[in-house]
């Protein structure tokens, strides 16, 4: 691991924090970079021993929409982890962040001579009508054009102690007499544990020539060991929260009507957008996203098996620990 002297986590938040923890614990020096990285940096500092803190470098502010700030932030980096993304916004916002922002990060990483790990999403498709998936697909395309040796990771729903999905529905169950699902809740998901994603990044950060060769230009589709319907996911939220609520199926047109109104308001616990309603109507599991060429795709299960990373974490083992 000595070959990686500075890994830059480009993007704060839930996933970035988990990756930083794993890398620091593996004696890899980590720098947090975002528009406001101090919050994550201060939080992580409090979690490590004095010896471990030496691997947590001072944070560097940067804006992915301003390439000149990335040049300074990535200087001397050996690894850049790109966590470019947003969950809601205008079409222009998605273009600016998930497409052009991803392109800016990839170009800056390539210029810095750093290995790039770019996080996308299962469902990424440059031809999709859903802005989130469309710009994730365009972002992937731009990443490989700028940095052909990049590794792209496409997660399904990500779960963990600080996640914004399972925790959100747990909170909703405290206010609502029911949990809503759209269209019967039949769409399928393959949730993946945040720490399993962090372990893959740690593998890629080792500076092992064999690892670098194996994953250069590859797309890793990341799903966990459990495949569940949208309704079953809600059932698990209620079971592990020890709550009894009705699971109410709503027609998609009702969700679209709700989204039309709620997306105009400031983001809050009850916010849902029309695009998110459409996303919830699509299967989100390994093997459903088009990849060209197909030989560039590998599943997270295969990575764990081939590189002896252990077992993928099940929802049934992890959810009871924090819901």
CATH of the domain at 295: 3.40.50.720
Is 60 among the domain residues? yes
Q: Tell me what pLDDT residue 212 has.
A: 93
Is 295 among the domain residues? yes
- CA-closest candidate to residue 315, choices 198, 223, 208, 192: 192
Residue 168 in tokens? 């959100």
Is 35 among the domain residues? yes
What is the mean predicted confidence (pLDDT) over 289-293? 63
Inter-residue contact 29 to 53 (CB < 8 Å) = no
Domain around 119 = 7-162+191-225+285-313
Q: 247 - beta bridge partners?
A: 179
Give the pLDDT confidence of 40-81 residue by residue, as tens digits. 899 888 888 888 889 999 999 999 999 999 999 999 999 999
Residue 75 burial by Cβ neighbours in a 10 Å radius (0-12, 13-18, 19+): middle
Q: Tell me what pLDDT residue 50 has.
A: 87
Tell me the residue ranges of DSSP E strands in 35-169: 56-61, 79-82, 115-119, 151-155, 158-159
Predicted TM-score (pTM) of this structure: 0.93
Residue 184 in tokens? 């019967």
Give the pLDDT confidence of 208-247 residue by residue, as tens digits. 999 999 999 999 999 999 999 999 999 999 999 999 999 9
Q: Tell me what pLDDT residue 52 has.
A: 87
Phi/psi at 86 (5° precision) = -150, 160
Is 184 among the domain residues? no
Q: Tell me what pLDDT residue 258 has.
A: 81
Q: Give the best-scoring range by mean pLDDT among 5-14, 114-123, 263-272.
A: 114-123
Total domains in the fold of the chain: 1
Q: Is the pLDDT of residue 157 over 70?
A: yes
Residue 180 in tokens? 């809503």
Mean pLDDT for the chain? 90
| DSSP code for 159 | E
- CA-closest candidate to residue 300, choices 217, 204, 192: 192
Tell me the residue ranges of DSSP E strands in 161-286: 178-182, 188-189, 192-193, 219-222, 228-229, 246-250
Confidence of residue 288 (pLDDT cuts 50, 70, 90): confident
């Amino acid at each position: 691991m000595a070959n990686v002297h500075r890994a830059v986590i480009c993007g704060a938040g839930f996933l970035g924090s988990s990756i930083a923890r794993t890398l620091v614990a593996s004696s890899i020096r980590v720098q947090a970079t975002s528009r406001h990285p101090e919050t994550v940096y201060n939080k992580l500092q409090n979690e490590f021993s004095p010896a471990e803190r030496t691997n947590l470098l001072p944070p560097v502010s940067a804006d992915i929409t301003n390439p000149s700030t990335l040049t300074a932030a990535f200087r001397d980096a050996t690894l850049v982890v790109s966590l470019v993304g947003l969950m809601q916004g205008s079409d222009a916002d998605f273009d600016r962040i998930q497409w052009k922002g991803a392109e800016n990060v990839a170009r800056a990483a390539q210029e810095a001579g750093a290995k790039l790990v770019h996080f996308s999403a299962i469902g990424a498709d440059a031809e999709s009508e859903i802005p989130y998936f469309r710009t994730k697909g365009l972002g992937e395309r731009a990443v490989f054009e700028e940095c052909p040796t990049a590794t792209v990771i496409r997660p399904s729903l990500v779960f963990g102690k600080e996640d914004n999905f399972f925790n959100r529905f747990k909170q909703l169950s405290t206010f609502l007499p029911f949990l809503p699902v759209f269209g019967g809740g039949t769409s399928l998901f393959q949730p993946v544990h945040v720490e399993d994603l962090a372990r893959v990044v740690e593998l890629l950060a080792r500076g092992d020539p064999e690892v670098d060769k194996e994953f250069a230009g590859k797309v890793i589709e990341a799903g966990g060991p459990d495949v569940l319907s949208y309704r079953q996911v809600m059932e698990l939220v209620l079971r592990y929260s020890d709550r009894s609520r009705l699971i109410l199926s709503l027609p998609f047109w009702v969700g679209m009507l709700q989204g039309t109104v709620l997306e105009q308001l400031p983001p809050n616990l009850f916010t849902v957008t029309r695009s998110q309603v459409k996303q919830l109507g699509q299967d989100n599991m390994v093997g459903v996203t088009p990849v060209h060429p197909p030989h560039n795709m590998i599943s997270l299960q295969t990575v764990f098996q081939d590189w002896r990373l252990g077992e993928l974490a099940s929802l049934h083992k992890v959810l009871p620990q924090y819901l």
